[in-house]
Chain A
Amino acid sequence: ETGVTQTPRHLVMGMTNKKSLKCEQHLGHNAMYWYKQSAKKPLELMFVYSLEERVENNSVPSRFSPECPNSSHLFLHLHTLQPEDSALYLCASSQALVAEQFFGPGTRLTVL
C-alpha cells in the first residue's frame, strides 16, 4: 500500500450504531487530519494530530471521537450519529503542520 488509505470506502449505519473509520498513512508523516466534506459546503477540518497528540478540535460534536494510536494510524469512532452527519470523510497526512497534505480517497458515510 502506498500513500494514504481509508477503510471502509462506503458505510451505511443507523442512528444507534457504533462504527469506526480507519486511516493509515505510509508516508512517514508526523501529522494527520480528519475532514468532513458535505455537498455544497466548504471542507470542514475536524481534528488534527501532530506526533500523536491532538492539536486541534474544531467544535466537533462528541458523537465523533478520534484516536491516534501511532503516527501511521488514525481512527474516527462514530456513535449515535444524525442524518446530517452523512458526508464524505477524508483523512490526510503531512510532514509538518504547514506543509502540503496528502489525502486518502475518503469514506462515504450515510446515516439512516
Chain B
Amino acid sequence: AQSVTQLGSHVSVSEGALVLLRCNYSSSVPPYLFWYVQYPNQGLQLLLKYTTGATLVKGINGFEAEFKKSETSFHLTKPSAHMSDAAEYFCAVSDRDSGTYKYIFGTGTRLKVLA
C-alpha cells in the first residue's frame, strides 16, 4: 500500500545551519514525489516535485530534494536556514496503480529556526 513517513514532527536548526527534513515513501509503481510548505494561516504551497528524469530536484527558496529509489527516500535540504523558512513542511506521494490514483500527504514537519 502507498504511504509516506516524515521522520520528526518538529525540527529546530540555527539560522545559517543546514536544513534536513526526512521523507520516506512506499509505492508499488514509480511515484511522483512532492514537497509543500505551509506558513501560518495559509494554504500549502508547492516547493518542488519529482516526476521523472534527474533525481536531484531544485525548488523555490533555495530548497532541493533528491529521489533515492534504493532508499525509498525524498529528503528535503537547504544549505543555510533563514528565519523566514520557519513553517510546516509536507511530503506527498502520488501514483496511478491499475487505473486507481492515490495522492497521500505525510503528517508534516514543523521547522523552527533559531536566531
Contacts and interface: CB of A to CB of B under 8 A. Distances in A.
A84 interface: no
Interface in B39-91: 41-46, 49, 90
Interface of B: 32, 34, 36, 41-46, 49, 90, 94-96, 101, 103, 105-108
Interface residues of A, number: 17
B90 A43 contact: yes
Do most interface residues of chain B lie in helix, strand or loop, or is the interface mixed? strand
B107 A98 contact: no
A42 interface: yes
Interface centre among B32, B34, B44, B105 (most CB of A within 10 A): B44
Contact of A106 (B32, B34, B43, B105): B43
Nearest to B48: A100
Contacts of A108: 41
B105 A42 contact: yes
Contacts of A98: 32, 94-96, 101, 103
Query: Chain A interface mostly helix, strand, loop or mixed?
Result: loop
Given A102-B46, A104-B43, 16 more contacts: A42-B107, A42-B108, A45-B103, A90-B44, A92-B43, A97-B96, A97-B101, A98-B101, A98-B103, A99-B32, A100-B49, A101-B103, A103-B43, A103-B45, A106-B43, A108-B41
23 contacts: A4-B43, A42-B106, A42-B107, A43-B105, A43-B108, A90-B44, A92-B44, A97-B101, A97-B103, A98-B96, A99-B32, A100-B34, A100-B46, A101-B44, A103-B36, A103-B44, A103-B45, A105-B41, A105-B43, A106-B41, A106-B42, A106-B43, A108-B41
